Amino acid sequence: QVRLVEAGGGLVRAGDSLRLSCSASGGTFSSYAMAWFRQAPGKEREFVAAIIWSGSSRYYADSVNGRFAISRDNAKNTVYLQMNSLRPEDTAVYYCAGRRTGSSVWTSTSVYDYNYWGQGTQVTVSS
């Protein structure tokens, strides 16, 4: 069973940066596509960014493209989300998610396509 643990959330001001991390255990991390989602109060969980097993392809929601960057270090079993130029509308609980894909280039923007989820980390951006 894969276990994902997020860290790095906090309270920041608009324009600041944060880096989230998600550490994985219990599986072969390099065989997993990984993604970040977020959920604001009263809203559905939404896609933020995804990265394939090798890190060679990355995908972003339009709302964060150019401000956020997803990356992974397979040697450390960790995926990151660098968030720059944060806005109040980025306030949410951020979740990392994973799905075993082997060496395929599969990835997805749908919450329904990921098998494993972390517990979430709160990011609050004040104006």
Return the pLDDT at 115. 93
* Tens-digit pLDDT profile for residues 36-64: 999 999 999 999 999 999 999 999 999 99
Query: Are the C-beta atoms of residues 53 and 70 closer than 8 Å to each other?
Result: no
**3-class DSSP state of 89:** helix
> Pairing between strand 92-100 and 18-25?
unpaired
- What pLDDT score was predicted for residue 46? 98
The band of 102, judged by pLDDT with boundaries at 50, 70 and 90, is: confident
At 107, the amino acid letter reads: T
* Number of continuous H segments (helices) and E segments (strands) in the chain: 0, 11
Model confidence at 104, pLDDT cuts 50, 70, 90, reads confident
Whole-number Å distance between alpha carbons of 12 and 19: 12
Average pLDDT, integer, range 25-35: 94
Please check the confidence at residue 112 and state whether its pLDDT lies above 90: yes
CB 108 within 8 A of CB 91: no
CB 81, CB 69: distance < 8 Å: yes
Assess whether pLDDT exceeds 90 at residue 27: no
Calculate the average pLDDT of the chain: 96
pLDDT at residue 103 tops 90: no
Q: Is the pLDDT of residue 70 over 90?
A: yes
The answer to whether residue 124 scores a pLDDT higher than 90 is: yes
Residue type, 56: S
Beta bridge partners of 12: 125
Alpha carbon distance, N-terminus to C-terminus of the chain: 40
